[in-house]
Structure formats: structure tokens, C-alpha cells
A = this chain, B = another copy of it.
């Protein structure tokens, strides 16, 4: 899976300049958990903690990346677009930003089902960022997948 994670990171840095400025790195996809990280320095805010916009961006990329890796593993090709999202900031992030996406496999399979029949699917994904093992950010988004575009 490592080379697919490298491919994902390469796509981000090449086509989304802000992801390169954020120095976003795909750590691994292991046991159904996608882990993405970024150093604090390029993502700092006026308070010296992680910028709310960077925290959101790393979450929205992690969810998008999870969809991309899932489609890739299934040999499917589809455009992936985020439709809407919600985010809660529970506490400041004072160090490296580490984001995880670990959806329920059965729910994911059910949500992906219409892609084969109608060419379209909507997937709800949650991501979480912790700060020294404590929950710092809760994120939830709906991605729309569309084939043949």
C-alpha cells in the first residue's frame, strides 16, 4: 500500500499547491485507517497553535484521500468532490498535526454500492485530529463520487 500512499501525496503536492505549502504527508493506510500528518510550523496561526483552516484542510484531504485509495483498491475511477462538512475544534493543536480516517467497512461498502449501478455514490466520512492523545478536532464530511467524468 505504501506506493499508493506515495502516489496520493504526489498528486496532492503536484495539483493542490496549498497542500504542498502545508507540507501534508500521507503516513500510511493500515488496518483500514488512513493517517495523514503535517508539521505545525507551516500551519501555525496568530496564537502559535495550528490554524483552523489548516486543520480543516488536512481533514478534508484525508477524507478525499481515503476515497481515492478505496476506489484505487477496487479498480474504479471516479471524480471525488466534497459536498458539505462540519468541524468542531475541541482544543488547540500545539504540535504536529496528525489526522486519522477510519470508517466502518460495512457502511463504506454499502455507500459505495450505487457507484457500480448508477455511476454515483455519496460517502459520509469522519476524521479526527488528536493533540497529545486527546481529541482536538472532530470532522465529518459528505463526498460525492461520480464515474465517467
Residues of A within 8 A of B (CB): 11-12, 15-19, 21-22, 41-47, 51-54, 56-58, 60-61, 79, 81-89
**Alpha-carbon gap, A88 to B51, bound state (A):** 20
Please tell me how many copies of the chain the complex holds. 2
Residues of B within 8 A of A19 (CB): 51, 53
**Alpha-carbon gap, A109 to B82, bound state (A):** 34
Given that A84-B87, A86-B85, A89-B81 are known contacts, is A53 also in contact with B45, CB under 8 Å in the complex? no
Residues of B within 8 A of A53 (CB): 16, 18-19, 53, 56-58, 60-61
Query: Is B18 a contact partner of A18 (Cβ separation < 8 A)?
Result: yes
Residues of B within 8 A of A61 (CB): 53
Residues of B within 8 A of A89 (CB): 81-84
Contact of A82 among B22, B52, B60 (CB under 8 A): B52
Please name the residue on chain B nearest to A53 by beta carbon: B57
